């Protein structure tokens, strides 16, 4: 091989490394990253993938637990209306109530006037066991709120973020729900008396 040809090859080789080297290195790095990600996905247990059947089974179990704790009447309320109501009485004797929706703020209202008082944003995220996410089934979330309101109303409310009505829950919907609740109670009362 002649000296000029050798020099030419060396120069071309250097240019190739300088020009395409970083690109090639970048490609190699991306390929390695991609392979690492694929391996990580392959290592993820199959049960961690979203499974609508599992979620339905969890919800059914949660509904049974709710029924056993709140009783048939309140369970029927939840089944018919999609929320539970907890009553309370202030020191001055005024009656108020809370509407408990799954995974939505608790809404407080004046039981005599129907005026909406406030929203209490509170949740029960499970940070201890996150294999299936941190969100409890709907009925479990409702039951957790119901038990906390009955067992330690002040503690729950003190720890919640309080907002004016309408921040997350549509006030129009809450008023409709209160009307539906009155109608539902009107329909179910004669059944209770008959029973």
Binding residues (CB under 8 A) for another protein: these are: 54-55, 57-62, 64-65, 68-71, 73-74, 105, 121-137, 140, 143-144, 146-148, 150-152, 155-156, 159-161
Least Å from the CB of residue 83 to another protein: 16
170 HSE (CA, 13 A, CB side): 4
User: Which H helix or E strand runs over 89?
Assistant: strand 84-89
Least Å from the CB of residue 76 to another protein: 13
Query: Which of 1/195 has CB closer to another protein?
Result: 195
Query: Which of 123/171 has CB closer to another protein?
Result: 123
Closest to 119 in 3D by CA, of 161, 153, 91? 161
Distance CA 99, CA 139 (A): 14
Query: Which of 21/159 has CB closer to another protein?
Result: 159
Least Å from the CB of residue 27 to another protein: 40
Least Å from the CB of residue 182 to another protein: 20
Non-local CB neighbours of 174 within 8 Å, separated by 6+ positions: 99, 107, 109, 116, 165
Give per-residue burial for 30-41: e unless 16+ CB within 10 Å, then b: eeeeeeeeeeee
Query: Which of 62/99 has CB closer to another protein?
Result: 62
Least Å from the CB of residue 120 to another protein: 9
Query: Which of 137/165 has CB closer to another protein?
Result: 137
Sign of the dihedral through C-alpha 126, 127, 133, 134: positive
């Amino acid at each position: 091989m002649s000296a000029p040809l050798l020099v030419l090859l060396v120069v071309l080789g250097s240019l190739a490394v300088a020009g395409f080297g970083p690109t090639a290195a970048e490609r190699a790095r991306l390929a390695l990253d991609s392979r690492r990600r694929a391996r990580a996905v392959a290592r993820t247990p199959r049960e961690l993938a979203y499974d609508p059947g599992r979620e339905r089974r969890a919800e059914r179990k949660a509904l049974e637990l709710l029924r056993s704790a709140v009783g048939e009447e309140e369970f029927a309320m939840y089944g018919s209306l999609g929320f539970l109501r907890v009553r309370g009485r202030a020191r001055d004797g005024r009656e108020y109530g809370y509407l408990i929706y799954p995974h939505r703020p608790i809404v407080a209202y004046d039981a005599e006037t129907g005026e909406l008082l406030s929203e209490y944003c509170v949740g029960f995220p499970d940070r201890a066991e996150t294999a299936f996410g941190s969100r409890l089934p709907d009925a479990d979330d409702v039951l957790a709120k119901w038990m906390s309101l009955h067992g330690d109303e002040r503690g729950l409310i003190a720890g919640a973020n309080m907002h004016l009505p309408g921040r997350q829950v549509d006030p129009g919907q809450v008023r409709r729900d209160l009307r539906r609740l009155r109608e539902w109670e009107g329909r179910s009362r004669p059944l209770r008396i008959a029973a």
